[in-house]
């Protein structure tokens, strides 16, 4: 079979199955079985597929995934998240769109201690959205910041999807985690600035509300008691990786252990919510590892069939500049984000993109951070963005899908501008890893 036919079978078949609604893991399992039988040689190919599948999840580099997920699960199930929001709200004075600003700041804090974008969005949506709507906020001003900052969770470590991207692409996981910090924080600042300016222009979007005043220690107590210790965990996790004192796995273990200890200190950890957190961790981690099995074997079969090498030669033989090739790859990722989830984007594109990155000498950390921003965009892009569906699931009936689509568009525009900024000035992504590494 020619490499063109192999490419159509593997890439085209997987894309068709995804559009038919088959779950990602099963979609690639079906294609892998067909590919192994054809390209690896019948029964012996099936045996090789089984061996490759087992080997793909035995990598020590994947260990941070369940540990990062556990940090977020403990935080949400113990109720510490509510205390964090209270601590932040008390310190933010009367600014235009105050509760929306609180949501962005709180979401940034949660991004630093949670590995799940969906969990952050669901938690902030269920806690803060009804509060904002009851105080007269327009649904677009209430829902937009929550979805936008939930997507930033992917850029700010710890992030399970960043670890997954690093493990599947061969990019340094620690450098990739640290590389997302500056773009993530810049996006958070941009969101706050947009909210303030937008509400100054149209105050009806977020009416002023009476703030409950706290004096002295009572004003600072929740912040010092809950926010500062949790931010300290983020600092320790990132600093230990950056300084080379610990591997990403060891840093994740430190973070998970510290989160559990803090929950115990706060007397918030009970056998019941600990069991809920562990169940959530097992469910999410199992799903991710199952996907890794499909992604790794898919890439191997695609390479063995000759499709990967053939596509790379066609692309690099067009005489395009490196800048044009990278721009085209980003365009493909944004287009895919309209239709498929983030894991599918990785599984479809990485087997083709990474050989091109290596052949053209592109900085893998720079490319990886832009890949993360494109995946973050995919979480927000209508009509199938995962966080749009999450917000609809937790929002009151008064918030329609039209409201949600309208709410997210300004933040999509800001994310596109951030992608352009990193594309034109790679130092935004690679400066911090280079400085700390």
Q: pLDDT tens digit string along 283-327?
A: 777 777 776 777 667 777 777 777 767 777 777 677 788 899 899
Nearest residue to 76 (alpha-carbon basis) of 127, 151, 149, 144: 127
For the ranges 190-199, 262-271, 273-282, the maximum mean pLDDT occurs at: 190-199
Does 92 or 406 have the greater pLDDT score? 406
pLDDT at 36 over 80: yes
Instruction: Pick 106 or 370 by higher pLDDT.
Output: 370
The answer to whether the beta carbons of residues 302 and 351 sit under 8 Å apart is yes
Phi, psi of 211 (to 5 degrees): -100, 130
**Where residue 29 falls among pLDDT bands split at 50, 70, 90?**
confident
Average pLDDT over the chain reads 82
Q: What is the pTM of this model?
A: 0.78
DSSP state, 175?
H
Q: What is the pLDDT of residue 164?
A: 82
Q: Is the pLDDT of residue 40 over 70?
A: yes
CA distance 413 to 394: 24
70, pLDDT greater than 80: yes
Distance CA 420, CA 402 (A): 27
Contact predicate 390/118, CB 8 Å? yes
Q: Which DSSP helix (H) or strand (E) runs through 248?
A: helix 248-265
Nearest to 187 by CA among 345, 377, 404: 377
- Residues 230-252, mean pLDDT to the nearest whole number: 79
The Cα–Cα gap between 272 and 172 comes to: 37
Choice among 37-41, 58-62, 383-387 with the minimum mean pLDDT: 58-62
Distance CA 417, CA 406 (A): 18
Minimal CA–CA distance to 239: which of 223, 255, 226? 255
User: 145 with 112: CB under 8 angstroms?
Assistant: no
Write down the pLDDT at residue 116. Answer: 67
Query: For residue range 329-339, what is the model confidence (pLDDT) as tens digits?
Result: 898 888 877 76
- Which pLDDT value is given to residue 244? 74
CB 418 within 8 A of CB 183: yes
Check whether 214 has a pLDDT greater than 70.
Answer: no
Check residue 410 and give its pLDDT. 94
Question: Mean pLDDT highest for which of 85-94, 225-234, 329-338, 357-366?
Answer: 357-366
Give the tokens for residue 298. Answer: 């898919």
Check residue 437 and give its pLDDT. 62
Most confident of 119-123, 195-199, 219-223, 318-322: 195-199
Output the six-digit token pair for 16: 């068709």
Predicted local distance difference test score (pLDDT) of residue 422: 95
- Residues 71-83 have a mean pLDDT of 79
Which band of pLDDT confidence, cut at 50, 70 and 90, is reported for residue 416?
Answer: very high
Q: Give residue 420's pLDDT.
A: 95
Report which DSSP code applies to 97: T
The domain locations on the chain are 3-436
Rounded to an integer, what distance in angstroms lies between the CA atom of residue 171 and that of residue 56?
A: 16
pLDDT tens digits, 110-151: 777 766 677 778 778 887 888 888 888 999 999 999 999 888
Q: Distance between CA atoms of 217 and 211, rounded to whole angstroms?
A: 17
Specify the pLDDT at position 198. Answer: 93
Pick the most confident of 37-46, 52-61, 298-307.
Answer: 37-46
Angle, nearest 10°, between helix axes 139-152 and 181-201?
Answer: 170
Q: How far apart are CA 425 and CA 205, in angstroms?
A: 35
Question: What's residue 385's pLDDT?
Answer: 77
Q: Give the residue among 355, 348, 370, 360 at the shortest CA–CA distance from 311.
A: 355
The answer to whether residues 183 and 429 touch, using CB atoms and an 8 Å cutoff, is: yes
Beta-carbon contacts of 344 under 8 Å, excluding residues fewer than 6 positions away, are 18, 24, 27, 336
List, as one string, the DSSP characters of 396-432. Answer: -TTS-HHHHHHHHHHHHHHHHHHHHHHHH-THHHHHH
* Sequence-separated (6 or more) residues with CB below 8 Å from residue 308: 299, 302, 351, 352, 355
The crossing angle, in degrees rounded to 10, of helices 139-152 and 386-394 is 130
The burial class, CB within 10 Å (0-12 / 13-18 / 19+), for 365 is: buried
> Please, which pLDDT band fits residue 370 given cuts at 50, 70 and 90?
very high
* 383 CB-side CA count, 13 A: 2
- Average pLDDT of span 193-213: 85
- Between CA 18 and CA 282, with CA 70 as vertex, the angle to 5 degrees is 55
What is the pLDDT at residue 195? 94
Residue 320 per-residue DSSP state: -
Q: CB 313: neighbour CB atoms within 10 A? A: 12
Rounded distance between C-alpha atoms, residue 415 and residue 374, angstroms: 9
- Alpha-carbon gap, residue 287 to 331, rounded angstroms: 28
Tens digit of pLDDT for each residue in 392-408? 877 888 888 888 889 99
């Amino acid at each position: 079979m020619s490499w063109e036919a192999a490419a159509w079978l593997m890439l085209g078949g997987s894309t068709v199955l995804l559009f038919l609604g088959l779950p990602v893991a099963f979609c690639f399992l079906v294609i892998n079985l067909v590919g192994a039988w054809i390209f690896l040689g019948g029964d012996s190919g099936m045996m090789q597929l089984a061996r490759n599948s087992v080997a793909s999840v035995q990598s020590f580099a994947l260990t941070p995934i369940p540990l990062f997920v556990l940090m977020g699960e403990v935080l949400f199930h113990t109720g510490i998240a509510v205390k964090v929001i209270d601590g932040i709200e008390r310190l933010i004075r009367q600014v235009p769109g105050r509760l929306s600003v609180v949501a962005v700041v709180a979401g940034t804090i949660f991004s630093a201690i949670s590995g799940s974008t969906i969990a952050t969005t669901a938690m902030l949506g269920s806690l803060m959205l009804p509060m904002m709507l009851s105080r007269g906020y327009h649904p677009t001003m209430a829902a937009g910041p929550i979805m936008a900052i939930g997507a930033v969770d992917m850029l700010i470590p710890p992030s399970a999807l960043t670890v997954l991207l690093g493990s599947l692409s061969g990019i340094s996981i620690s450098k990739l985690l640290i590389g997302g910090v500056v773009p993530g924080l810049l996006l958070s600042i941009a969101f706050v600035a947009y909210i303030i300016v937008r509400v100054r222009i149209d105050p009806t979007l977020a009416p002023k509300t009476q703030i409950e005043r706290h004096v002295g220690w009572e004003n600072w107590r929740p912040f010092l008691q809950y926010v500062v210790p949790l931010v300290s965990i983020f600092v320790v996790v990132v600093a230990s990786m950056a300084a080379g004192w610990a591997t990403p796995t060891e840093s994740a273990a430190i973070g998970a252990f510290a989160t559990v200890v803090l929950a115990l200190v706060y007397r918030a950890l009970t056998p019941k919510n600990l069991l809920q957190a562990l169940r959530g961790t097992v469910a999410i981690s199992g799903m991710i590892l199952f996907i890794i099995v499909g992604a790794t074997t898919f890439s191997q079969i695609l390479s063995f069939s000759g499709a990967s090498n053939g596509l790379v030669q066609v692309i690099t033989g067009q005489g395009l500049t490196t800048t044009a090739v990278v721009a085209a790859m980003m365009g493909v990722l944004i287009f895919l984000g309209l239709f498929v989830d983030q894991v599918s984007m990785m599984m479809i594109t990485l087997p083709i993109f990474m050989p091109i990155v290596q052949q053209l000498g592109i900085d893998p950390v720079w490319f990886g951070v832009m890949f993360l921003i494109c995946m973050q965009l995919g979480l927000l892009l209508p009509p199938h963005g995962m966080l749009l569906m999450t917000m609809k699931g937790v929002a009151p009936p008064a918030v329609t899908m039209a409201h949600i689509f309208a709410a997210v568009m300004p933040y999509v525009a800001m994310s596109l501008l951030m992608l352009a900024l990193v594309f034109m000035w790679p130092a935004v992504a690679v400066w911090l890893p280079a400085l700390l590494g």
